Chain A
Amino acid sequence: MDAILEMRGITKTFPGVKALSNVNLSVKSGEIHGIVGENGAGKSTLMKVLSGVYPHGSYDGEIHFAGEERRFRGIADSEHLGIIIIHQELALVPLLSIAENIFLGSEIANKAGVIDWNAAFRRTKELLKKVGLNESPQTLIDSIGVGKQQLVEIAKALSKNVKLLILDEPTASLNESDSDALLALLKEFRAQGISSILISHKLNEILEVADTITILRDGSTVDRLDCRAEKIDEARIIKSMVGRDLTDRYPERHSKIGDTIFEVKNWNVFHAIHADRHLIKDIDLHVKKGEVVGIAGLMGAGRTEFGMSVFGKSYGQKISGRVFMHGKEVDVSTIQRAMDNGIAYVTEDRKNYGLVLIDDIKRNISLANLPGVSSKAGVIDDPKEILVASKYRRDLNIRCSSVFQQTVNLSGGNQQKVVLSKWLFTGPEVLILDEPTRGIDVGAKYEIYGIINGLAESGKAVIIISSEMPELLGMTDRIYVMNDGRIVGEMPTPEATQEKIMHTIMKSWED
């Protein structure tokens, strides 16, 4: 069989980061090609290069499709050739009908722009039949479930005469029967000669349908497995996914673990908008004085939702469960109360949830504890505020021209230190750090790790939520593994390996 797609030597750099390094991808005509890799391995970036989101010239390497070299200037170019990508977050307009969504941007219309609705509805019916969706073309997207929306996206792809269908984590938000239906559909497409690329964390699904698997790690292709030539199992894939060394990326740790400080029991949370989606299911968890505990899991496992909901119910609804500090039940129903009880949550999204970017460093550091820099009457003591900010600037080594510098101008690592300073100034006993080193370069990461170790050594309890497993292995005393809103495993870090964590996650999908 000929290759319909050849991507050769793709290298893509962002300022300071090499996202893709000499990646090769070869998809044969009429096959299902699985792409797997950890979060941040470069899967999404590769697909953006392929679909033209990053136009020709912004990357190095060649793309050959259907026998010719292609230089896409934008998505329109790749779609024109039948390369259609369906993202994890669906790109449908909720308040328009199925037919309107399918033909959005390529309406069946005459030259004057008047739409022929009868033709559109007829064509929509044909397309829906192909994907096995029994809905009226006039049904609003809003009123059908995520699984059916996914099918509408695929129908939309079919309407564009798709040659290569790319699905990015299509089953992440689907239940089992919807997932099975989707995979069956992919197999049917294969029978009709349509090639597809399936990106998924769920290795069992990949193994079920894929003919070939490409494995990415840290922006490079590390392996290419032919499922028809040899027997491949999950262990084989995981080994390639995570195989990297850990030397000297983490400062030395000296744990002095005391009594339990923080404990959560029976924690349940429902989705902030869709009240019927049960996101966090009966979570029990505890952290001891001086202990660093990790929460491992894939994207969408519910880790952030858990952290935020514990922190003053800042996410979700219908939250139930109990929180204890030093064995005494405490009220965390508002952010202020959670803070008063010594809890701090450091967000994974520092730009949107952590910093007031237009404000300077000192204003950001004092924001969560303004009473700490002002009189009882609420008048801010400017010199005191500056002294506090300067102290954290020194302690955490925030590199800036002065504490009057706007935070928008700081590098990611220094921004993260400002956010950490803000929370340290509230005097917490428990810190929940959500992806504390996301988007930070290696040097700054090391510094952040040093700060975290220092916090633990000073007797604070630390929870690290991280998608980087080596980070959890290098930084924690104990690891909880979370998947699909549940704690599916718990292990002391010395006994943990990346393979063991991955197996725990994969096994929980099968249960």
Chain B
Amino acid sequence: MAQETVVSPSTTEPRGSIGAYLKHHIRDYGLLISLIVIMVFFQFMTNGTLFKPLNLTNLVLQNSYIVIMALGMLLIIVAGHIDLSVGSVVGFVGALAAVMMVHWQVPFPLVIIACLITGAAIGAAHGYFIAFFKIPAFIVTLAGMLVFRGLALWILGGASVGPFPVGFQLLSTGFLPDFNPNAFQFKWISMAIGLITTVLMVFFNIRERLNQQKHDLAEEPFIIFVGRNVLIALGFLLFSYLLASYRGLPNVLVVMFALIVLYAFVASNTTIGRRVYALGGNEKAARLSGIKTDRLTFYAFLNMGILAALAGLIFTARLNTATPKAGLGFELDVIAACFIGGASPTGGVGKIIGAVIGAFIVGVMNNGMSILGVGIDMQQVIKGIVLLAAVCLDVYYKRKN
């Protein structure tokens, strides 16, 4: 009788061994460590400019729209698709918002709602062809990329449109109110919010850890758990402190953070998130398990449309003008962020946090290289190499396991 063979990593190495655990999760920690290394590297190379409160604030503002779109893009990539149109949608929605506000004098809250609905409609249109017509996402969104870039040009008549009402600009340039409204006075409320968020985060981590221990499921060695939490808490506090010593927490940061938490929760803790992973992991098995895979794909693109529209609004508000070229090439940064963050091009694998860290790696590199005066030409070369290297590492570790 043939023996059942079971490959079991934990029989060869004792459970809870730190080395074994790190080896198994090297990709997760490696990503965070890469971000830290890149930050320290540029902090050093730029003689401390990178972490200056002013620059840090700019870094957040510059990358918020990439991060926000990476949340939606990750779900699409996990589902086994791709969306090339998001850069054009950013441009189109920005143009639409500008024309509505400047030419038609529509109040900005109404404009925001209309633009988000437009984004949803665009996403739904892509999703319809991909999910129900079974046309590859690459083709549908490539078409969308051309169509919405063209429409952005058309709406704007080839010119730039702006400036916008102050209320709309605050979406991107506003900061949380504080007792000390002037720049470079310490913002106590922002610091307090940063502190509370940090405490809450650590609290939830500990609670989950206790819950795991209650069921004897805690896999992560205790030292790593503590170390990870201390590191992240320190990072958060330092980040809040630095922002608080300039103008406080940007509104965009609050929106972005809320979205990250929401999407991370949906992706890992809800049935709909789980179904997206199953869809990307094996569509046939997912469908035979009663999952409405077509509808799920459709919703993933609908969601992407809304997030791209939101990113478009934030980007336009930040520039205070809509230009026909707004958002050009954003899709590449967003997609790169997801892949650097560990998403698999074949679907089924990827984490929201990974995509966010990936976006910040791209963002810090953009920012750091700009400060260093690296030309746009070499910046692209370096970003391309980093993307390839990150995915190569992924493939390497997968093969080793």
Contacts and interface: CB of A to CB of B under 8 A. Distances in A.
A367 B276 CA distance: 11
A353 B290 contact: no
B333 to A, nearest CB: 27
B332 interface: no
Given A335-B289, A442-B1, 4 more contacts: A17-B2, A368-B289, A370-B275, A387-B215
A443 B7 CA distance: 18
A416 to B, nearest CB: 12
Nearest to B265: A379
A386 B8 contact: no
A22 interface: no
B96 to A, nearest CB: 33
B221 interface: no
B269 A379 contact: yes
A414 B2 CA distance: 13
Contacts of A444: 4
A359 B8 contact: no
B270 A378 contact: yes
7 A-B pairs closest in CB distance: A401-B8, A356-B281, A441-B2, A368-B289, A370-B271, A409-B7, A16-B2
Interface residues of B, number: 36
A352 B282 contact: yes
Interface string A384-403: 00110000000000011110
B217 interface: yes
A386 B285 contact: no
Contact of B278 (A345, A352, A359): A359
A383 B274 contact: no
Contacts of B11: 401
A401 B10 contact: yes
B288 A347 contact: yes
A413 B272 CA distance: 30
A409 B6 CA distance: 7
Contact of B289 (A367, A387, A414): A367
A374 B4 contact: no
Interface in A158-213: none
19 contacts: A312-B290, A314-B287, A335-B288, A352-B282, A356-B282, A356-B286, A357-B282, A359-B277, A359-B281, A363-B277, A367-B285, A379-B270, A383-B215, A387-B215, A400-B8, A409-B6, A426-B290, A443-B4, A444-B4
A370 B269 CA distance: 11
Contacts of A405: 8
B226 to A, nearest CB: 21
Interface in B249-273: 269-272
A423 to B, nearest CB: 9
A474 interface: no
B292 A353 contact: no
A146 interface: no
Max chain A C-beta neighbours (<10 A), residue from B9, B217, B289, B348? B289
